[in-house]
Amino acid sequence: MTDLARAGVAETARLLTTGKTSARAVVDEALARIDAGNAALNAFTVVLAEQARAEADARDRALAAGETPGPLHGVPIAIKEEVDVAGCVTTYGGDGNETPVTADAELVRRLRAAGAVVIGKTAMPEFGAWPFTESVSRGLTRNPWDPSRTPGGSSGGTAAAVAAGLVPAGIGGDGGGSIRIPSACCGLFGLKPQRGRVSTAPAPHLWWALGTAGPLTRSVRDSALVYDAIRGNVEGDLFRAGESESFVGAAEREPGRLRIGWTTTPSARGVRPHPRHVQAVQDTARLLADLGHEVREVDPALPDPTAAFVPQFFAGIRAEAGEVEHYDRLERRTRQTCRLGGWVTPRVREWALRETGKVSSRANRAFDDIDVLLTPAIAPRPPRVGRLEGVGSLRASLRAMPMIAYAALWNVAGNPAAAVPCGPAADGLPVAVQLVGRTDDEATLLSLSAQLEQARPWPLLAGDRAGG
């Protein structure tokens, strides 16, 4: 494995802007790693080799001409299938579309403006409906830590690509945990930002109030760098976040002494966390106390988000499925989901959006006397691949529940929440905890996560061990 494979976003950009290497060399090496490693993982569905090389050459020419490089200069980045990339079909993980789009999504436009090179598109379950990256048309995406296990979902292709060192970073989406869940399964840092922090254009929203987009990375600072490049809004965005400081600045400063509450009780009823995940929360709580924070177990009486979540889940999938060119080519399970969601009329959807406000208000009472909430990221250990094979929508939903049990509430509430790696467990798979912040307070999560990263370094790539 080369040094470039281990270099993250910040280090790759530094090597490029200081003349230690060229964007073309970085992209060529990334393409070689993808060629060597993707067959075993099924992380990339489209590799834009010719376009990426041309884009890298343009970055090199601009630097040679004396142009000021962007913060992501020459960094290869993968994009989840649901995000528009000019010249590519936006497949949503299936076969319903066949016509390439003509323009980048706003966040992709911002990535390119910051100097990034779009190298390919990554696998997802159809319409991002499930926390397992499996589909009839694309097959199974595998966890680079253990190919018999899932990388999670729905941004599992992105997670597998980044965790395996194929690319320094990738873009995912999070409508019910889909950045945090695969980050937890693959040993990455994954921040779901405040609702409305990142533009969803050209779409006005992503599953109404539930979804947002953002990077999956191997370090906190890398995540902050990408977010500072892509965050912001355009006319037509349904949701807009409040003001926030520089994410990079937040990741580079000390968090100060924080009041941190921890709990292992999920908002989803009937779900029990794996003992290793309970231990991870307790170990992290002790470490945070050693770092000088005020840490205590809490019983925040978090609300069950189901009534607000489910109608928006159905409405989001039905809306996306209704816009594809060939509905008949969608998976049987997807079409079943659309039929089951027929009861979600516009009136029901509007009711769910009003309920979202109520759930958010109740959930945020947890922060009346704490600054950050610490929980498990997911309930089970990463399951074996094949969780969706031969099952319909209802059984898939039941299998999904333990994966989203700690995550989905914060999609409804809108708060920022991050999956923070704790290193590998005895089974060789990663362990993670979730940190949840106040409304619009990604900065505290970034500074606290960076402090944890420094105190308890996690492996850079799948197969590494801390300190190895």
| 360-371 pLDDT per residue, tens | 999 999 999 999
CATH number of the domain at 7, please: 3.90.1300.10
Catalytic residue of the set 22, 135, 154, 393: 154
Render pLDDT for 253-303 as a digit per residue (tens, 0 to 9): 999 999 999 999 998 888 999 999 999 999 999 999 999 999 999 999 999
Bridging pattern class, strands 430-437 and 134-135: unpaired
Tokens of 30: 């990334």
Catalytic residue of the set 155, 178, 199, 360: 178
pTM of the model: 0.97
Domain contains 468: no
Q: Give the amino acid at 141.
A: T
pLDDT at 419 (0 to 100): 98
Residue 190 pLDDT more than 80? yes
pLDDT at 465 (0 to 100): 59
Domain contains 461: no
pLDDT at 9 (0 to 100): 98
Residue whose tokens read 């922060």: 367
Render pLDDT for 37-77 as a digit per residue (tens, 0 to 9): 999 999 999 999 999 999 999 999 999 999 999 999 999 99
278 exposure class (CB count in 10 Å sphere: 0-12, 13-18, 19+)? middle
3-state secondary structure of 434: strand
pLDDT exceeding 90 applies to what percent of the chain?
Answer: 96
Catalytic residue of the set 22, 80, 219, 449: 80
Domain contains 460: no
Render pLDDT for 330-349 as a digit per residue (tens, 0 to 9): 999 999 999 999 999 999 99
Decide if 192 is catalytic. Answer: no
Domain contains 397: yes
Contact of 203 with 432, CB cutoff 8 Å:
no
- Domain residue limits at 145: 3-455
- Structure confidence at residue 156 as a pLDDT band (50, 70, 90): very high
Domain contains 278: yes
Domain contains 464: no
Average pLDDT, the chain: 96
Average pLDDT over residues 216-224: 98
pLDDT at 129 (0 to 100): 96
pLDDT at 468 (0 to 100): 31
Bridging pattern class, strands 189-192 and 169-174: unpaired
CB atoms near residue 201 (< 10 Å): 19
Average pLDDT over residues 225-231: 98
pLDDT at 2 (0 to 100): 46
Domain contains 414: yes
Instruction: For the chain, state the CA radius of gyration.
Output: 20
Decide if 223 is catalytic. Answer: no
Residue 1 pLDDT more than 60? no
Decide if 219 is catalytic. Answer: no
Domain contains 269: yes
pLDDT at 39 (0 to 100): 97
Structural domain count of the chain: 1
pLDDT exceeding 70 applies to what percent of the chain?
Answer: 99
The sign of the CA dihedral 413, 191, 227, 41 is: negative
